[in-house]
Structure 1
């Protein structure tokens, strides 16, 4: 790899570095989501503007989700999950928007570098939190369909809030440990091995633990619904929302997973530029409000509907409650009421 070059994206002089074969591992061992790809040219300036516009649009969408799910829609277990998921996506998009704005404006100096470092830490924490919430959502949705009697009668009422709090603590802990070894101790020679092991652990946690935990419940959900052939379950909007969110994440994070797998397993430098993987993650964080809107939109109704009604319909989950022995569900029951009457 001696003939390849890397651009120092955050250096004040933007010097071009051409590492030798022995120097490449150190260049790529700077930490998860901070690995600078080898490329012949610096990132195109237009990518900063594209990322910035995408992040701003995603911030608006996630802001609407936070408003409606937090204040306008009756609180349900899945609305709690989506509320925290929108918070994680909004935090990540905000960090990337600030990062792209600094790069697009050409802001240099120690303060700009400090802000970039804070944005990287915030973005990593929000990314880990968002990824960890998807397995919880898919697992609980699978349990509500496969075991409806237990879910509607014996499920702890505050399970969603407790799970979200634990996942946020996990993301904070993982980010703190990673930042300590890969950033705070970056100047010490002994920290290289610790940063490497921390990076490997973080990649295993995201791609080999969280991804199977979100995919397997979705497969079980699809098999259960299709094999039982229940139309009411197939028409549940929430099934489509969960499957779409997991699918969008898997498609958008495949480039980051390939980069991590090739480097740490085969010691092959990241084949995709950093701005490509960042753009894909921004698409994943910005797409969830669109998923809620498309799933909750009723084609038989008028063209324009209040967003509150659309988002509320996206969480519609009445099929499983009817299977729990005909009893009235507990606080997880959703009453789909529109301003003019019952929503169909």
Structure 2
């Protein structure tokens, strides 16, 4: 996958013999996609920076806000890697002799992409456990489970990315090892997407169906909207790499989705997460000018709307909803 990523970057940035000349007409579409992706990524970096700053210094963290902090970090790193990659690509449109370090950005993009999906899958899984088995969850959940889980997922994603880089780029002759790592990554991606799909369906069914349906909370809405955005905008990027892995066994008539558009959709996905947090947090907000910290805190509250309106909160609900803005 790293090899294909590097080759795609070099092919999409052909340039001309004359450094000052414009890109050829058949590359105008790629140039437009790169500029559009760059603008979306820049806006996403600003949004995730605000989320990182608020959760790190302005709000008291709880179990789920720790996950959101790490998810924002993965989105921030993913968007920064894409910004550098697209800048290298834009320079390549005008400078034929320019040599980008696209393999490095390939491993950075892949590492942050896997990390974000893994952390979001952990959020969805833990939320499903809290909804389906509330008594067991609150009695047996380890205190530092969120931090430990995120650390393990970051480490696993880094190891997989380094193995991919080493076997497919550095040791180019070790084709068997490259295929094994690619196969394991494909299985891991499928498992993550299946987890996200099943957990989102369970949360939706628990909130909307049945006589004992779960009371709607802002945290559940935030998680469901984030998962749906990933399945719509983040899935094409994973499908693209999955098809690249198995393309040699596919018929020639099978169309592989464009990598440019899959990267653009991934930018939209990482950019949409802060928008979801602040939209859910500001929805039906009674204060005229709430602070960003208060809005983000509201989006991560596990307080049902009925209880929130009545003002009577149980100690367990106060503990789950997190701290207040400083």
- Fold shared by both chains (TM-score > 0.5): yes
1:199 corresponds to 2:182? yes
CA distance in 1, matches of 2:66, 2:187: 27
CA distance in 2, matches of 1:139, 1:92: 23
CA distance in 2, matches of 1:110, 1:166: 41
Q: TM-score, normalised on structure 2?
A: 0.81
Give, in angstroms, the shift of residue 118 of structure 1: 1.7
Give, in angstroms, the shift of residue 201 of structure 1: 2.1
Matched with 2:81 is 95
CA distance in 1, matches of 2:167, 2:290: 50
Residues 156-175 of structure 1 correspond to what in structure 2 (within 5 A)?
Answer: 156-175=142-161
Matched with 1:245 is 226
Matched with 1:315 is 300
Tell me if the contact between 2:297 and 2:322 (Cα under 8 Å) persists in the aligned partners.
no
Tell me if the contact between 2:60 and 2:325 (Cα under 8 Å) persists in the aligned partners.
no
Matched with 1:10 is 10
SS at 2:257 equivalent: coil
Give, in angstroms, the shift of residue 103 of structure 1: 1.6
Give, in angstroms, the shift of residue 213 of structure 1: 1.4
What is the count of residue pairs matched by the alignment? 300
Give, in angstroms, the shift of residue 302 of structure 1: 4.8
CA distance in 1, matches of 2:39, 2:258: 19
Matched with 1:275 is 260
Q: Could you say if the C-alpha distance between residues 104 and 132 of structure 1 is closer, same or farther in structure 2, counting changes exceeding 3 Å?
A: same
Tell me if the contact between 2:61 and 2:322 (Cα under 8 Å) persists in the aligned partners.
no
Matched with 2:216 is 235
When the two chains are superposed, the root-mean-square deviation of aligned CA atoms in Å is 3.1
Q: 1:329 aligns with which of 316, 321, 325?
A: 316
Give, in angstroms, the shift of residue 143 of structure 1: 1.4
SS at 2:199 equivalent: helix
1:225 corresponds to 2:210? no
Q: 2:250 aligns with which of 239, 255, 266?
A: 266
Unaligned runs of 5+ in 2: 1-6, 17-24, 308-312
Superposed CA offset, 1:12-57 (max 9, x none):
98399xxxxxxxxxxxxxxxxxxxxxxx944521222111111110
Give, in angstroms, the shift of residue 300 of structure 1: 4.9
Matched with 2:310 is none
1:301 corresponds to 2:286? yes
Tell me if the contact between 1:146 and 1:221 (Cα under 8 Å) persists in the aligned partners.
no
SS at 2:294 equivalent: helix
Unaligned runs of 5+ in 1: 1-6, 17-39, 340-344
Give, in angstroms, the shift of residue 225 of structure 1: 2.7
Matched with 2:198 is 216
- Larger relative helix fraction: 2
Give, in angstroms, the shift of residue 122 of structure 1: 1.0
Tell me if the contact between 2:240 and 2:258 (Cα under 8 Å) persists in the aligned partners.
no
Q: Could you say if the C-alpha distance between residues 328 and 153 of structure 1 is closer, same or farther in structure 2, counting changes exceeding 3 Å?
A: farther
Give, in angstroms, the shift of residue 329 of structure 1: 3.2
Give, in angstroms, the shift of residue 273 of structure 1: 1.9
Q: Could you say if the C-alpha distance between residues 330 and 310 of structure 1 is closer, same or farther in structure 2, counting changes exceeding 3 Å?
A: closer
Give, in angstroms, the shift of residue 259 of structure 1: 3.3
Q: 1:63 aligns with which of 36, 39, 49?
A: 49
Superposed CA offset, 1:297-327 (max 9, x none):
133535542111110000111349x9xxx97
Q: 1:152 aligns with which of 123, 138, 150?
A: 138
Tell me if the contact between 1:152 and 1:330 (Cα under 8 Å) persists in the aligned partners.
no
CA distance in 2, matches of 1:109, 1:156: 55
CA distance in 1, matches of 2:57, 2:13: 48
CA distance in 1, matches of 2:227, 2:42: 23
Tell me if the contact between 2:217 and 2:301 (Cα under 8 Å) persists in the aligned partners.
yes
